[in-house]
Amino acid sequence: MASQSKECAIVKGISIFFLVFGIAAIAVAALMFFGAPHVDLNMEDGTQIAQLYAAIMALIGLFEFVTGFVGIRAAKKHSLLKPYVYLCAFMVVVNLAETGHTFMNGGGSVYMYLVYAATAFAGIVFASRAMKNEGVN
């Protein structure tokens, strides 16, 4: 059995990060969606707003899960490295846009967005190196 390259092992580790956080986001979104009717939010249409945010969070978690799953597969099947790079690039763009949006609206915590952007960028770098080493176009 051939051993994995260092770059592929790092891609797999980054992908496990995305997979775990994707599952966690989906679980929290489900709790938020189904728990919203039972919480007094003291605002008009608060339940619907909370459920909307839960649906958005579920979509984000699903995207993270898919990115992690593709990355884990790409670590072994090198033809999937290019789609993985595209998925990570999309994550970098979205998280940097959210960082800018947060700054433009007067503040808030941006550390989460920066961590995701940095992790996805590392995924791009190591997947690109693995593609170069494996000769994938």
pTM: 0.86
Task: Spell out the domain ranges in the chain.
Answer: 6-134
Q: From 57, 50, 48, 60, select the one nearest 29 (Cα to Cα).
A: 57
Output the DSSP codes for 109-128: --HHHHHHHHHHHHHHHHHH
Q: Show the tokens assigned to 4.
A: 């994995």
Is the pLDDT assigned to residue 61 strictly greater than 60?
yes
Mean of per-residue pLDDT scores for the chain = 90
- Model confidence at 36, pLDDT cuts 50, 70, 90, reads confident
What is the pLDDT, as a whole number, of residue 2? 52
